[in-house]
Structure 1
């Protein structure tokens, strides 16, 4: 009877008094994903950072947060309205903001000066397909031909995120192939480009075992995601692979030779890893290796590695993963490789939900498998 009553009492305990769930990849995914897209500078990013900081501390690590800032261009909600239809779009970085209502002019071709003139875009909203010419060339040509605004239609599925690469005094919007096909020549449309430019503050989470000053290895992955994407695979999967490694190494001699970093600002241009390399030259010079985890939670292709030949060989020998020497992928290992650090990039390919709202799933088994491959690589290095 006492046992049954004790069990009933435990079931009726309020959540605050219930026993905590074990810290696993599954519980971390369930805790962080509901925060939403972890865009640098957002509350969701800060909430995820607070949660993960506490997880490192619970494992016995000392954690510090290192801030940095950089200029960023933000789309505050741009789009088109045509004949009562609302069409979503994305402003290209370098575009000016503004609202323009005018007839649509469809441009045949890729947007050469002659093609804009032939379409008679003066005083109109020019609509042209993506491809061949750069975004900036299309924008300059549209402006020179007298267009009041420019809509660039993607020539492949999905949205277009990008930059003009320079300042062009013209509102420029990108739309999907489907949205572009619905725009008819001559119909009146309103183009709204709402943008903001200013500095954003990023925060790297740096965890190290007490007393570690000069680590041999750095294990990293970026915590931030792009606007609109919850970032389960890109890159909560890599973040949790780093946390899993920290848990596996906690209290061991290897922990005393390691540092774990969750980088911020990767999606805006590797700002967090660049800031770390710049701020810690003495640590960077002494690293035997930087292991970077990005998109390891969806098995588009089997786990593979790329990077320094010695590290790739150790991963192949110790973990049996496919690999090739040479840097690949625009992720946080790049600034370290540029500083002369041997790097190893763990990756499973770009899944169908890359940078999309559907990036909601990551497989805990694959995440643990990536951490295990890193451990086996370390063992292989030690056996040389």
Structure 2
């Protein structure tokens, strides 16, 4: 997607803010920035827009920065004749360019499979499955391969990692790209990678004077490489913004924090930083509600979390739910810190982490907010359990 200029972005912020933003305009505006990978210009543009919306509602905001190491693909691919085929570097791969014949390795890349062909000085092409990416790569190295291509089992981009650094350029490709590779033809493998520090920034919104909230509504605003992230997780981000809009002139706003976490896709980095940096605040929370992938109706809205919260969600909103807390989203660090959490989600849709993640249903987002407001109202009217 095309990224607007700073001037165009500022103009859009003023236009949307003055016109009165809603779920639809939030979705439309932020999606226009493109994939919101932590540390990118699009990520910052989205943060600026969302921060402006909080402020236009009368909330104070603050930015909380943190940093962490990350492996980045800077645009890897391979060339076969006049064709350029896309791929993604496997995390832990070394960068480099290799021009050599492609050799299809039978099976899934076991040592026996590599012994059946000669890959010395050539580019080994291996199917995904059975062995870990790391073991396939080590087997390729032992056989003398100059490069490695791993073909996914489906027509989706593969984001794989070795778990350690290897001196081997390695690329993951879709099943479609793999089918186009011709055995024995010379190709050019181009792996462009970078290891370095990434700066993430959380946005915290609150009413003036609120320093010890009882409720924290959270969602991650970042997405993955090449994925515009409409459902994952602009849907959750917009749900938090809609909660802030609906509660701005109610007592609930004076008891709440609204937090947009960065770096979730890189390992819950933003929520972990928040929990680490605010131990007293976190211990004072009665609950943390997290919203992730609530804009596509893969399955009915579901909740997981602390037993009493799940039971309340079932009784108040008729939601299916389970406990203990599950999932790999931003509620996890809060749950680990002893905070009762409730995780709202609708399942993984077909475009999860894909370039096709461009749609989220405003009606589903609003329904999620309706449910959350009904549940939190009951939670705050319930006496605090002993020990909390």
Under a length normalisation based on structure 1, what TM-score does the superposition of the two structures give?
0.93
- For residue 253 of structure 1, report the CA deviation from its aligned partner: 1.6
CA distance in 1, matches of 2:56, 2:180: 54
Query: Residues 170 and 34 (structure 1 numbering): CA distance in 2 closer, same or farther, change over 3 Å?
Result: same
Q: 1:330 aligns to what?
A: 328
Q: Which segments of 5 or more consecutive residues in structure 1 lack a partner in the other structure? A: 1-13
Query: 1:1-384, aligned counterparts within 5 Å?
Result: 20-384=18-382
Query: Equivalents in 2 of 1:71, 1:375: separation in Å?
Result: 37
* Distance of 1:152 and 1:341 partners within structure 2: 41
The CA deviation at 1:246 is 1.0
Cα 1:202–1:17 change in 2 (3 A) is closer
Q: Is the 8 A contact 1:315 1:380 kept in 2?
A: no
Q: In structure 1, how many angstroms separate the alpha carbons of the residues matched to 2:269 and 2:126?
A: 33
Residues 379/112 of structure 1: CA separation in 2 closer, same or farther (3 Å cut) = same
Larger Cα-atom Rg: 1
Q: Is the 8 A contact 2:127 2:153 kept in 1?
A: yes
Give, in angstroms, the shift of residue 105 of structure 1: 1.1
CA-based RMSD: 1.7
Secondary structure in 2 matching 1:374: helix
Distance 1:261 1:220 in 2: 5
Give, in whole Å, the separation in 1 of the partners of 2:16 and 2:148: 57
* Structure-1 separation of matches of 2:21 and 2:338: 36
Superposition deviation, residue 380 in structure 1: 2.4
Conserved? CA contact 2:17–2:53, under 8 Å: no
Separation of aligned partners in 2, 1:214 and 1:17: 34
Relative distance call for 1:232 and 1:350 in structure 2 (3 A) is same
User: Secondary structure of the residue that 2:156 maps to in structure 1?
Assistant: coil
C-alpha separation between the residues in 2 aligned to 1:190 and 1:124? 11
- Corresponding pairs, count: 371
Q: Does the CA contact (< 8 Å) of 2:100 and 2:186 recur in 1?
A: yes
> 2:17 touches 2:52 (CA, 8 Å); kept in 1?
no
Task: Provide closer, same or farther for how the CA distance between residues 278 and 361 of structure 1 changes in structure 2, counting only shifts above 3 A.
Answer: same
- List per-residue Cα deviations over 1:20-72 (Å, max 9, x = no partner): 32221112112211111111111111111111111111111110000000111
> Where in structure 1 do 4 or more consecutive aligned residues deviate above 4 Å?
14-19
* 1:18 shift after superposition: 11
Query: Does the 8 Å CA contact 1:305/1:322 hold for their aligned counterparts?
Result: yes
The whole-number CA distance in structure 2 between the counterparts of 1:32 and 1:382 is: 32
Give yes or no for contact 2:17–2:56 (8 Å, CA) kept in 1. no
Q: How far apart, in 1, do the equivalents of 2:15 and 2:259 lie?
A: 32
Instruction: Name the structure 1 match of 2:7.
Output: none
Cα distance between partner residues in 1 of 2:166 and 2:310: 44
Deviation at 1:221, TM superposition (A): 0.3
CA distance in 2, matches of 1:183, 1:337: 46
Shift of 1:157: 2.8
Residue 156 of structure 1 deviates from its aligned partner by: 2.2
Q: 1:221–1:360: structure 2 CA closer, same or farther, 3 Å change rule? A: same
Shift of 1:328: 2.1
Q: Distance in 1 between matches of 2:310 and 2:280?
A: 25
Please, what TM-score do these two structures have when normalized by structure 2?
A: 0.93
Structure 1 Cα separation of the partners of residues 371 and 230 of structure 2: 20
Q: What is the CA-CA distance between 1:17 and the residue it aligns to?
A: 9.2
- Between the aligned partners of 2:363 and 2:15, the Cα distance in structure 1 is 30
Tell me the distance in 1 between the aligned counterparts of 2:162 and 2:17: 53
After TM superposition, give the deviation of residue 251 of structure 1 in Å: 2.5
